[in-house]
Structure 1
């Protein structure tokens, strides 16, 4: 396979724009693992498309930008001024900075429906009941096996007729 002809066919750009068929996409991803040149060209094509979109992209209206920034920028910031010897907080207003609060990866929360919680609890109770009954019937079978063994094997003290 001539990798240069493959690159020049435009398959990378079609894939990045979402115009490639699923088979072409799978083939491209497979060939990227085999040919490092194809992987480099893939990254370069991504940058070319991104730069082209940024150059030709229209700027949003100023009112929309201001509305979005107002929603994400805190109006009033509180900072700890305990360094001055007092445990008070002083009010500061940052009009010239835009702060975007970003939660770390570990602070994510997942909410679960009450029905899933109930189903999980019921499943846990059923699993514990199954484990307890298995343990009970296992020991019961061991006890019955010992009784049968005693019945089949004659006692040493009994004399044979």
Structure 2
């Protein structure tokens, strides 16, 4: 295989631009392991494409910057509005479902949580608290039993004859 003809075929550029097929990509990576010059050409093609993009790039119009900044200012103004007014407007537009709990955090995004998920979380918390209490109870009971056993073994009345 003539590697120079392969390089000049433009396969590296097609790969970098995302235009190569899966077979061409597999062939390129297999040949890169065999021919180290392909790695050098790969890096050079990346630089050529990047330079071409920089040369042909157009600067956006200055008015676009102001438009984007104004949009951020409007978002900030909406963020600082009264939360109660915002909540009333949201509920008027879309009434909450009866089986969901509406969470509206400070960043004004709406998230619905099913009542059943809330019940599951509450049940898990109660179960965790019961488990912690029973663990503490059994630990204290085992400590008392251990103390009583030590007293019984170390008492002078229980000497063996």
TM-score band, normalised by shorter chain: 0.3 to 0.5
Q: Under a length normalisation based on structure 2, what TM-score does the superposition of the two structures give?
A: 0.40
TM normalised by structure 1 equals 0.40
